[in-house]
C-alpha cells in the first residue's frame, strides 16, 4: 500500500509520492527531468527538455477557454537533500520514506522535498486531468533553484504565449508573495599550512556541537537561531586566544541556503593542556546556551579525545583562518525601512569544510536592494583578501520588484475573497523565488507566488499540511477557471 493512498485529492498526492521515490537533490535532476518528459510524451503533450534538464510542458485550453489568456505555472524540480546524522538513506539514489502523522506528511530521517515537490504534483495532476476547466497551460519546471537558480537563468521561454505567471513555491497558505529578494553565493577559501606533528607532544580533541533548530536561510534568518558553523568558529577562536590550537579537520552544514544545525572539528593541542581546553569548551557551551535561550533550547557541545593523526595545520595559519571566519559577517545585515519586519539584507554561512589545505566557506547572500547585496559581497572579498584568502561571488540573481498594477494579483485576491470571505495577505519576502529572473525574459510578465503550508523546510523535520494542500488545490483550480 502506498503511504499517501486515500488522501484527497488523490491525483495530487499520487504524483507527490511518485516524486519522493525519485532522488532529486540539487545537481541530481536528470532522473526526475526524464520522468517529467516521459509523463508529457505518454499523454501526447507538447514538451521541451533543454540541455540543463529544465522541462516545459504545454496543454491546450479546454472548451470555453480557447480565447482566454494563457497561464504560466512554474516551480522547480530540485530539493535541498539533507538528513539526520543517523539516517542511512543515500539521497543520491534511494527513495524517501514518507509517512503521515497528525495531518502532515513527513519523510523519515530526511528532508521531504515539499519545497518544491508540491508544485510538480499540482501541475502533473492538472496536466493529467481531462475534466478540469482552464486556459492554455504553459508549465515551466526549472532545475537547481536551491543552489543559485541556474535553471531559471538558462531556460528559454521564447515559445511561451503567456503573460501571467503563478509560481507555486510559496510555503504559507493565504499569503501571496508579490516581490522577493535577490541573492548570490560567495565561496571563501582560506589557506592553511600543513605540518607533521611530533609524536607524544599533542593531544587530539573532537569538538562537536548540535541540537540547533536550523531552518531556511531566507525565511528563518530573523528567528535568532544559532548557526552551527559560526558558533564552532567562535569556540575555536576563543581556544586559540589562550592555547596553541592546530586545526586538523572541520565540517558543518549541508547547503548554503540552510542554517546549519551541526558542526564539528578536530584540533590538536599540547597534551598537558587537554583538561584546561575541555573546561574552556564547557564554559563556551554554557555562555552560548544562555545567549540562545528558548530560540535553540537543545544546543549542546561535546568534547572528546581523538586518536593520533599523521598531520595537522600549524597554529599560525589556524589562527589566521579562524580570525577570517569570525570577521566575516553572518545573519541579518539590514532591515527594510519601508516594510516593517522585513529583512532587507542578510547572509548565511551554510557550509564549512576543510579540504586540500584550505578551509572552505560557502555563504548565501540575500538582499532586496541589489546595490546593498553587491556592497556586502565586496566587503566579504576585502575581508578575505586581508586574511590571505580568496572570495568568489557566483550565481548572482536579481530580485523581483513589486508591480503596482497587477491584473493577475487582482484575480488572485478576488477568488480568494470569494472562497474564504477575506482577502489574502500580500507580502514581500526575504527568501528568493524565480519570478524576477523569469520576468526579465518575458516583457510585461505579471507574477504571483502561492502555495500550501509547510514547516521546517530545508531540514530533516520538514513537513507539509495535508488539509492545506487540499485547500490550495481547490483554490488553484478556481483561479484557473475564473473569467
> Any idea which residues carry the catalytic annotation?
78, 145
**Separation of alpha carbons 219 and 432, rounded Å:** 9
Q: What are the distances in angstroms from CA 384 to CA 216, 337, 364?
A: 25, 30, 16
How many Å apart are CA 205 and CA 293, to the nearest integer? 27
Asked if omega into 190 is within 30° of 0 (cis), the reply is no
Maximal C-alpha separation, the chain: 84
Q: Which three cell numbers stand for residue 300?
A: 549542546
Separation between Cα atoms, residue 451 and residue 169, nearest integer Å: 6
DSSP E strands in 211-338: the ranges are 215-216, 246-252, 258-259, 263-270, 300-306, 312-313, 331-335
Q: How many CB atoms lie within 10 A of CB 234?
A: 17
Q: What are the C-alpha distances in Å from 178 to residues 142, 248, 369, 416, 472? A: 20, 47, 16, 15, 17
Torsion of CA 213, 92, 248, 271, to 10 degrees: 70
How far, CA to CA in Å, does 39 sit from each of 57, 77, 159, 267, 376?
A: 10, 14, 20, 52, 44
Q: What would the DSSP string read from start to end of 12-63? A: HHHHHHHHHTS--BTT--HHHHHHHHHHHHHTT-EEEE-TT--EEEEEPPPT
Query: Which three cell numbers mark 116?
Result: 518544491
Contacts of 324 (CB under 8 A, 6+ apart): 188, 190, 383, 384, 386, 387, 389
* Alpha-carbon distance values, 184 to 150, 365, 366 (Å): 11, 5, 7
Radius of gyration of the chain (CA): 24
Residue 426's beta-bridge partner residues? 176
Closest to 373 measured CA to CA, from 390, 394, 396: 396
- For β-strands 98-101 and 104-107, DSSP reports them as antiparallel
Q: What gap in Å lies between CA 437 and CA 150, rounded to an integer?
A: 10
Partners of 111 in the β-ladder: none
**Residues paired with 429 in a beta bridge:** 180
Amino acid at each position: 500500500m502506498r503511504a499517501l493512498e486515500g488522501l484527497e485529492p488523490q491525483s495530487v498526492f499520487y504524483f507527490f509520492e511518485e516524486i519522493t521515490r525519485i532522488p532529486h537533490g540539487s545537481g541530481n535532476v536528470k532522473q526526475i527531468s526524464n520522468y517529467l518528459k516521459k509523463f508529457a510524451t505518454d499523454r501526447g503533450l507538447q514538451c521541451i527538455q533543454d540541455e540543463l534538464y529544465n522541462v516545459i510542458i504545454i496543454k491546450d485550453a479546454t472548451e470555453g477557454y480557447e480565447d482566454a489568456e494563457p497561464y504560466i505555472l512554474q516551480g522547480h524540480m530540485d530539493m535541498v537533500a539533507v538528513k539526520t546524522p543517523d539516517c542511512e538513506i543515500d539521497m543520491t539514489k534511494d527513495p524517501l520514506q514518507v509517512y503521515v502523522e497528525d495531518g502532515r506528511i513527513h519523510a523519515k530521517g530526511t528532508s521531504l522535498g515539499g519545497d518544491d515537490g508540491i508544485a510538480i504534483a499540482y501541475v502533473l495532476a492538472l496536466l493529467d486531468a481531462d475534466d478540469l476547466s482552464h486556459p492554455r497551460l504553459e508549465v515551466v519546471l526549472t532545475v537547481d533553484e536551491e543552489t543559485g537558480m541556474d535553471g531559471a537563468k538558462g531556460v528559454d521561454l521564447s515559445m511561451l504565449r503567456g503573460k501571467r505567471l503563478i509560481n507555486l513555491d510559496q510555503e504559507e497558505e493565504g499569503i501571496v508573495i508579490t516581490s522577493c529578494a535577490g541573492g548570490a553565493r560567495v565561496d571563501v577559501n582560506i589557506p592553511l599550512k600543513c605540518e607533521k606533528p611530533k609524536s607524544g607532544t599533542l593531544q587530539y580533541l573532537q569538538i562537536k556541537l548540535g541540537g540547533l533548530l536550523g531552518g531556511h536561510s531566507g525565511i528563518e534568518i530573523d528567528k535568532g537561531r544559532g548557526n552551527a558553523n559560526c558558533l564552532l568558529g567562535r569556540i575555536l577562536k576563543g581556544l586559540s586566544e589562550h592555547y596553541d590550537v592546530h586545526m586538523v579537520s572541520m565540517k558543518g552544514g549541508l547547503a548554503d541556503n540552510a542554517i546549519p544545525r551541526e558542526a564539528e572539528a578536530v584540533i590538536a593541542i599540547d597534551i598537558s593542556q587537554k583538561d584546561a581546553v575541555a573546561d574552556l569548551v564547557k564554559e563556551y557551551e554554557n555562555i552560548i546556551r544562555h545567549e540562545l535561550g528558548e530560540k535553540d533550547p537543545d544546543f549542546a557541545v561535546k568534547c572528546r579525545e581523538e586518536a593520533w593523526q599523521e598531520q595537522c595545520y600549524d597554529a599560525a595559519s589556524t589562527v589566521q583562518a579562524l580570525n577570517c571566519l569570525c570577521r566575516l559577517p553572518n545573519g541579518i545585515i539590514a532591515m527594510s525601512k519601508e516594510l516593517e519586519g522585513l529583512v532587507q539584507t542578510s547572509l548565511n554561512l551554510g557550509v564549512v569544510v576543510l579540504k586540500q589545505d584550505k578551509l572552505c566557506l560557502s555563504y548565501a547572500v540575500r538582499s532586496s536592494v541589489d546595490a546593498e547585496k553587491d556592497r556586502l559581497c565586496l566587503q566579504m572579498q576585502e575581508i578575505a583578501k586581508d586574511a590571505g584568502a580568496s572570495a568568489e561571488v557566483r550565481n548572482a540573481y536579481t530580485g523581483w520588484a513589486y508591480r503596482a498594477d497587477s491584473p493577475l494579483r487582482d484575480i488572485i485576491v478576488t477568488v480568494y475573497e470569494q472562497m474564504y470571505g477575506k482577502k489574502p495577505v500580500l507580502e514581500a519576502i526575504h527568501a528568493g523565488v524565480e519570478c524576477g529572473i523569469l520576468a526579465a525574459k518575458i516583457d510585461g510578465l505579471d507574477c504571483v507566488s502561492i502555495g500550501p503550508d509547510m514547516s521546517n523546510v530545508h531540514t530533516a523535520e520538514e513537513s507539509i499540511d495535508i488539509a492545506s494542500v487540499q485547500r490550495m488545490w481547490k483554490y488553484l483550480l478556481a483561479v484557473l477557471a475564473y473569467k
